[in-house]
Amino acid sequence: MLKNKIILIVDDEFIILESLKIQLSRILASNFELQMASSGEEALGLIDELHQEGEDLALVISDFNIDSYKGTDILRHAIAQYPSVKKIILTGQADTKSINDFDLQYGIDAILDKPWDLSSIQTVINSIH
């Protein structure tokens, strides 16, 4: 049996996590599973745990500013264990230079302002094989 593809949502605002969870659960195929982290530390631990369990982390959707972390820190950690992971940054007031520098080095599949456009997230999900 094939394992589900994991989508990790990272944001320190509960309302954002819940909104994305509800919206994505309406559009996702059954072979996707949502995981959520409400802090940078929780996200890094979850990425490590998923990797140790042999799970398929397919997409990380991360806020840019998360407690003492940046979304790019979380994405960098995910890339180290999952080189082909898709990456989305959500931002309300981001440091665009940091995001652009990260994008040049690693590539970001989408940079979305809050409130986000669900169709842009769906486009990235549809590109997951």
CATH number for position 87: 3.40.50.2300
What is the rounded CA–CA span in Å between residue 121 and residue 47? 20
Q: What is the pLDDT, as a whole number, of residue 42? A: 98
Is residue 40, in this structure, part of any structural domain at all?
A: no
Could you list the residue range(s) of the whole structural domain that residue 80 is in? 67-129
41-82, pLDDT tens digit by residue? 999 999 999 999 999 999 999 999 998 999 999 999 999 999
pTM to 2 decimal places: 0.94
Is residue 18, in this structure, part of any structural domain at all?
A: no
Is residue 120, in this structure, part of any structural domain at all?
A: yes
Contacts of 118 (CB under 8 A, 6+ apart): 23, 27
Please state the domain count of the chain. Answer: 1
Q: Are 113 and 92 in contact (CB under 8 A)?
A: yes
Is residue 111, in this structure, part of any structural domain at all?
A: yes
Looking from the CA of 40 toward its CB, the CA atoms found within 13 Å total 15
Residue 93 main-chain phi, psi, to 5 deg:
-150, 65
91-112, pLDDT tens digit by residue? 877 668 888 899 999 999 999 9
Q: Are 33 and 59 in contact (CB under 8 A)?
A: no
107 — alpha (psi -120 to 50), left (phi > 0) or beta? left
CA 16 to chain centre: 13
